[in-house]
Amino acid sequence: MTIERAGVIGCGLMGSGIAEILARKGLDVVVRDIDDAAVEAGRARVEKSFAKGVERGKMSAEDRDGALARLHFTTDLSAMADRQLVIEAASENEGIKKKIFAELDSIVTDPQAILASNTSSMPIVRFAQATSRPERVIGMHFFNPAPVQPLVEIISSLLTDPAMADELDAFTTEVLGKVTIRSDDRPGFIVNALLIPFLFSAIRMLEAGHATKEDIDTGMINGCAHPMGPIRLADRVGLDTCFYVGQSIYEETGDPANKPPLLLSRMVDAGLLGVKSGQGFYDDYR
């Protein structure tokens, strides 16, 4: 199947970034969010990103105008009816995601359409079982910021059609130009299963007063050749995202390495979420 019509559910940071990628690669894209304010915020985010692309010489004004013409924003989920690929990028709440997949199952008319989730860690099989077509449900995990980060994790559940997974993998590499890795439907998949314990270990070191955030980050940059230290990286990922991903993995595995540190929990309670809120462990994002 040649994928020409795509849909994105949610136009926050991740959803708008995914929609931008799809539109730039020539697809007709419908983006849906829950209300007009969310839709307008998503539209403005994409327009700002395109404007920066033109300013920096990464895309022409003609390409920008073409991509914007292929983007359609709505609050109506039924607009997904004719889509061949729908990527769910709603908030990391299992109940919300299950409801979306159940609704998409009754709305999307093409039985061969692919229903994908951008979840960072939640079990794909649970979303699949909310539909009557579990073999067409898969994980398609982009990384933030989606237009810049090259990686996409493709996650097959026990019920996913292997041929469909291969098809989506090929589309992601050949059409979207991304690098893909394949994962089983395990907690945290590949990247977050490795990343979250690392970030939490750094936060616990800071919390215990063993080192400053600057020294922790400098140590990993200069001692381990990491491009960014773990405290700064947590801010960039989003402290709320780190918390929810860690909590999800911990609930499934019971591994204490994935239990969110108390300091992280308090940061999230305070609304100090990192780059997205303008302040996290560091306060130089404004």
pLDDT digits 0-9 by tens, 196-222: 999 999 999 999 999 999 999 999 999
The pLDDT value given to residue 144: 87
Q: CATH: 3.40.50.300, 3.40.50.720, 3.40.50.460, 3.90.550.10. Which one for 5-184?
A: 3.40.50.720
pLDDT tens for 99-118 read 999 999 999 999 999 999 99
Lowest average pLDDT, out of 98-102, 164-168, 275-279, 282-286, goes to 282-286
Catalytic residues: 120, 141, 153, 192
* Position 98 confidence tier, pLDDT thresholds 50, 70, 90: very high
Average pLDDT, the chain: 96
Query: 122: which DSSP letter?
Result: S
The pLDDT value given to residue 164: 98
Q: Where are the beta strands (DSSP E) in 10-158?
A: 28-32, 71-74, 85-88, 114-117, 137-142, 151-156
Start-to-end C-alpha separation, the chain: 45
* Position 157 confidence tier, pLDDT thresholds 50, 70, 90: very high
With 80 as the cut, is the pLDDT of residue 124 above it?
yes
Q: What is the mean pLDDT of residues 157-182?
A: 98
Q: What is the mean pLDDT of residues 267-271?
A: 98
The predicted model scores a pTM of 0.93
Sheet holding 85-88, edge to edge: 71-74, 28-32, 5-9, 85-88, 114-117, 137-142, 151-156, 179-184
* Position 269 confidence tier, pLDDT thresholds 50, 70, 90: very high
CB-CB contact of 40 with 29 (8 Å): no
With 80 as the cut, is the pLDDT of residue 1 above it?
no
**Nearest-angstrom CA–CA distance, 237 and 243:** 10
Say if 5-184 and 192-277 have the same CATH topology. no
Q: What is the mean pLDDT of residues 7-24?
A: 96
Does CATH number 3.40.50.620 belong to domain 192-277?
A: no
Query: 261: which DSSP letter?
Result: P
Domain positions in the chain are 5-184, 192-277
